[in-house]
Amino acid sequence: MSAITRILPKRRLSRWVGYFMHWQGPSLWARLSIRGFAWLYNIDLNEAEKAYNEYPSIGEFFVRRLKSGIRPVGSSWAVHPADSKITQAAPIDDGTLIQAKGHTYKLSEFTQDPDCSKKWAGGFFMTYYLCPTDYHRVHSPVDGQITDVRYMPGELWPVNEWSTSNVPNLFSVNERVLVEIQTDLGPVGVVFVGATNVGHIVLSFDEKIRGNQKGPHIFQHKQYSPEIPVHKGSELGMFRLGSTVVMLYPPSFRQKFEKNLNLGPAVRVNASLIS
């Protein structure tokens, strides 16, 4: 698997898959393919905002919104950002995060933020893996103000269990988008991590920043003035096909809540993170 994955044109392949999944063919094709996709991944069609036959492609169904009230927002200070499985959760000690057993990566390389140690070293991180079964929009886990976004171009390795256990520095190598939210406990980072066959990452509040586009891939750091208010449960963005979210919480969060975290492993978006 390693040899095949290394030689595949992962970025181009991901765009092709994205184009195919969003191809709007005959309505009969859309209905049959979406029904088949939902059956294959055991997706509950009753949770979708619209009837399955109202979506023009598998891709649009994949980024479907949910019916209002399906995922009520929890009352704790922070909630989970996505329907997902928590694969890692631990303190950020020595500026290091855990990728998998025996594999770590550096906060500084992952965020490409010169002030990352002041913000998150000594804090707490959580890795959320979204599989095809899951709802693929990502919501704010906290109340606050969006201050910064960093787009970091990179590779598009898979982010499955094999890859996290075998590809060094996977999360620092793959393309990602870091959304920083200022809260009353300090800055919170929501990091969208790209992967093979993720057509692109899209932000709901700023569509000018997108992952895996044609042309040169250049690091971007965007600061917002005025800052963008956001509330728990507000939509931040989506993966056009699945991937991973890494949450970064500051030391004040860890000191206050570490002993009372609800960590799954399987969690629902907007469910309370803290008991």
Torsion of CA 232, 236, 239, 242, to 10 degrees: -20
DSSP reduced 3-state for 132: coil
DSSP reduced 3-state for 256: helix
For 224, phi then psi, to 5°, come to: -105, 125
Among residues 80, 136, 139, 200, which one is catalytic? 139
Give the residues across from 37 on adjacent strands.
none
Is 83 considered catalytic here? yes
What sign has the CA pseudo-torsion 110, 114, 116, 117? positive
Q: Do the bridges between strand 266-267 and strand 244-249 make them parallel or antiparallel, or are there none, so unpaired?
A: unpaired
Is 139 considered catalytic here? yes
Distance CA 45, CA 54 (A): 12
Distance CA 157, CA 168 (A): 11
Q: Are 88 and 124 in contact (CB under 8 A)?
A: no
Give the residues across from 84 on adjacent strands.
267
Among residues 14, 140, 163, 243, which one is catalytic? 243
Distance CA 258, CA 232 (A): 19
What tokens appear for 208 in the block?
Answer: 């000018």
Q: Are 156 and 239 in contact (CB under 8 A)?
A: no
Among residues 14, 83, 84, 136, which one is catalytic? 83
Is 272 considered catalytic here? no
Active site residues: 83, 139, 243
